[in-house]
Amino acid sequence: MRWKLKSKPDLATTKKLADELSINTKLASILVQRGITTFDEAKHFFRPSLDDLHDPFLMKDMDKAVTRIRTAIEKNEQILIYGDYDVDGTTSVSLLYNYLIEHHNNIATYIPDRYKEGYGISYQGIDFASDNDFSLIIALDCGIKAIEKVEYASDKGIDFIICDHHKPGDEIPKALAVLNPKREDCEYPYKELCGCGVGFKLIQAHALTNGVETLELLPFLDLVATAIAADIVPMTGENRILAYFGLKVINDQPRIGIKALIKSIEKKELTISDVVFIIAPRINAAGRIKHANYAVELLTSTDIEIATEIASSIEEFNAHRKELDKEIAEAALIQIEENNETEKFTTVVYDENWHKGVIGIVASRLTETYYRPTVVFTKSEGKLAASARSVKGFDVYDALNACSEFIEQFGGHKYAAGLIIKPENYEKFKAKFEEVVENTIDKELLTPEIIVDAELEFADISPKFYRIIQQMAPFGPENRKPVFKSSSVRDNGYGKQVGQDKSHLKLTLFQGNPKNILGAIGFSMGDKINSIENDFDVLYQIDENTWNGKTSLQLLLKDLK
C-alpha cells in the first residue's frame, strides 16, 4: 500500500478547538481535517439533530411532487411505487409504501426483474401500470435518464414522479416532477443523498404539509440508514444525521423485517459496518438470486411469522450467492492468468454462463486483487451485460462515457456502473476501455492508497481517546474511522500467525517502554510474520477486544513496514 499522511491542519485553529472542547491536539487536528473548526460545528458533529436537516422544499419540483401525491390521495387514484432491485431501490420502495399506506389504500409496488427487464424503468413496468389502471408512478433510485420511457407513460395517461440521485444526462425526463439534488438547476444544499434519502425528503415534505413533525418519521430511518450504508455515499451532512438516527432505530426498535433478518446476530450493538456486511448483502441477495420482491415483502411486512419465513428464504439466497461469487471469481482469475492480462491497466472478462446477479460482486473482488478499473461481462437477453468497478480516485463513469460508441446503454457512479453492449462489440470495447484508462489514469492510482490521519505515540492511546474517536461514528466515505501511524514499534517476541489457515497476524506491541504493551490483530496479514523481527512502523485503527469477560483496547492493523 501507499501510505499517505494527511497534511497537518493550521496549528492555531487546532489548538483553539482543542481548548474549547477540552481534548488533546491530536483529536482536534482530526476534526479540523474533516472541516470541523469551531465549537458550534463540533457540537453539530458530535450531537446530530433532526433539526439540522434541510427544508425538503428547497429541492426543485418538491412542491409539484407533494401536490400531485395529495391530489392522487384525494381522488383515490392508484399509485405504483417503482424502484430498482438493489438495496437502495428496495429500501426506497419499502419506505414510500410504508409511509403512504397509512394515508392511502390504492398502492402497489413494482420492482423490475433483473434478468428480464434490466436496470431502471422498463416498458414492461409501464405496461403493467397501464393494464392495471395506475395513473401515477413514483420511481425511486432510477429514472433520471428514462426520457423515452417517461414519454411512453405520458402517452398512456400516466404521470411520473422521479426520485433519483444518479448523474443526470444532458436532458431531464419530462416527468411531472424530477427530484434529484444533482440536477444543475436544483439548489438543494446537500447533493450526496442516496435514492432512499431522496425518497425520505419526499415523505418529509408530505408530512410537513400535513402538520407532521420530522421527529415522527424516525421509525422510517432504519431503511434510510441501510441504503446509505449499502450505497457507499459520503457519510457527511444529512447522510450522517439520517444514518445516526437510523442506526438507533435498527438497534432499539427495528421494523419487523429487519428484526427477522438480524435475529440470529449475537451482537450487542450493530454499527454501519455491520449494516454493510450483514444486512445489505442479504437484502441484495433477493434481487441477485431470485427476485427483489422478496426484499420489499420483508421490509413491508407487519407479521413476524411471515417476515421470519421470508428472512429464512433470503438467508438461503445469500448462501447461494456466496457460492456463485466464489466460483465465478476463481474462473475469472484463471481467465486473466491464461490470457496473460495481469499487466494491463484494466481488467475486462467475459463468460456467457456467469450469473448476472453476482457479476458486480465479482468485479469488486477482481478490483481488490489487481487494483485497476474492472468490467465483468455475462450474456443476457442476447446481449452482453456488465458491471464495472473502479479504483479510488478514478472515475469509471467518465471512462465508459469515452467508450460510448461501443455501448448500448450505461449508467451509474464514479466508482460503480452497469452497461450493456452488443456481443460483436466486446473486443472493440475491451481495447477502447484499455486505451482510455491507460491514457487518463494517474499511474499512482494503480497501487492501493491508505490515508493516515495522524501519527501517534502509544502513550497517546487511552480509553478516553478511544471513546472520543467512537463518537465520530457513524463512519463512512469522507468520514472514515481514523487510521493512525506509529513508528519504531516492536513485538514482544510472542507474535504469531493465527486462524485455521494461519492467515492472520496476532502481535503484542510496545514502543519504547516494554511494559506499556498493546495487543494487535492484522487480518489477512499472516504473511508478514517475517517483517516483525526488528523495529517496524504500523498503520492501525483503535478497537476494543473482549476476552474472558475482560475488555481492553487493541490495534486493528492495516499495514506494517
Grid cell for residue 438: 491507460
Q: Does 439 score more than 80 pLDDT?
A: yes
Per-residue model confidence (pLDDT) at position 414: 87
How many angstroms separate the CA atoms of 295 and 308, rounded? 12
Handedness of CA 335, 339, 342, 346 (dihedral sign): negative
State the amino acid at position 257 in one-letter form.
Answer: G
| pLDDT single digits (tens) 487-540 | 999 999 889 999 999 999 999 999 988 888 999 999 999 999 999 989 999 999
State the amino acid at position 106 in one-letter form.
Answer: N
Per-residue model confidence (pLDDT) at position 205: 98
Quick one: residue 488, left, alpha or beta (phi over 0 = left, psi -120 to 50 = alpha)?
left
Per-residue model confidence (pLDDT) at position 163: 98
**Contacts with 387 (C-beta within 8 Å, 6 or more apart), sequence order:** 359, 360, 362, 363, 375, 376, 416, 417, 418
How many angstroms separate the CA atoms of 282 and 315, rounded? 7
How many angstroms separate the CA atoms of 498 and 484, rounded? 24
Considering the entire predicted model, what is its pTM?
0.92
Q: Give how far Cα 131 sits from Cα of 68, 127, 153, 156, 250, Å.
A: 21, 6, 12, 10, 38
Q: Does 232 score more than 80 pLDDT?
A: yes
| pLDDT single digits (tens) 134-178 | 999 999 999 999 999 999 999 999 999 999 999 898 999 999 999
User: Under a CB-based contact definition with an 8 Å cutoff, are residues 292 and 114 in contact?
Assistant: yes
Domain architecture of the chain: domains with CATH: 2-7+450-560 (2.40.50.460), 56-313 (3.90.1640.30), 339-446 (3.10.310.30)
Per-residue model confidence (pLDDT) at position 267: 80
Q: Does 181 score more than 90 pLDDT?
A: yes
How many angstroms separate the CA atoms of 125 and 114, rounded? 12
Per-residue model confidence (pLDDT) at position 533: 87
Helix locations, 253-303, DSSP H? 256-262, 272-274, 280-289, 293-300
Mean pLDDT over the full length of the chain: 95
User: Under a CB-based contact definition with an 8 Å cutoff, are residues 542 and 461 in contact?
Assistant: yes
Per-residue model confidence (pLDDT) at position 119: 80
Cα torsion for 180, 181, 182, 188, to the nearest 10°? 150
Q: Does 471 score more than 80 pLDDT?
A: yes
Q: Does 290 score more than 80 pLDDT?
A: yes
How many angstroms separate the CA atoms of 390 and 436, rounded? 13
| pLDDT single digits (tens) 331-353 | 999 999 999 888 999 999 999 99
**Contacts with 42 (C-beta within 8 Å, 6 or more apart), sequence order:** 17, 20, 21, 31, 36
Per-residue model confidence (pLDDT) at position 168: 92
Average pLDDT over residues 219-245: 96
| pLDDT single digits (tens) 365-417 | 999 999 999 999 999 889 999 999 999 999 999 999 999 999 998 887 888 89
| pLDDT single digits (tens) 39-98 | 999 999 999 999 999 999 999 999 999 999 999 999 999 999 999 999 999 999 999 999
